[in-house]
Amino acid sequence: MEAEKRTFVEAAIALSFEAMDSNRGGPYGAVVVQAGEIIGRGMNEVTSVNDPTAHAEMTAIR
């Protein structure tokens, strides 16, 4: 179980680096997990899409 959690955290970290590398936003990434699978991925895009609600968690949920 801990290895699985680590995989999810690493996926979110990878998204944060992608956000920074692509100048989409700050260094934030998020994943939504259900039944042991990633069903949503998102990164901070507040400044790149001019949307104050485009935080990583919200983009992952959307």
Mean pLDDT over the full length of the chain: 93
Q: Looking at residue 23, what is its pLDDT?
A: 87
pLDDT higher than 70, residue 1: no
Domain boundaries, the chain: 2-61
Catalytic, out of 2, 18, 45, 57: 57
Task: Determine the distance from the C-alpha atom of residue 22 to the mean position of all C-alpha atoms in its chain, rounded to a whole number.
Answer: 14
Q: What's the CATH code, domain 2-61?
A: 3.40.140.10
41 within 8 A of 7, measured Cβ to Cβ:
no
Its pTM stands at: 0.86
4 is catalytic: no
pLDDT band at 24 (very low <50, low <70, confident <90, very high): confident
pLDDT tens digits along 28-55: 999 999 999 999 999 999 999 999 999 9
CA distance linking residue 20 with residue 34, whole number of Å:
26
Which residue from 62, 49, 50, 59 is spatially nearest to 12, judged by alpha carbons? 59
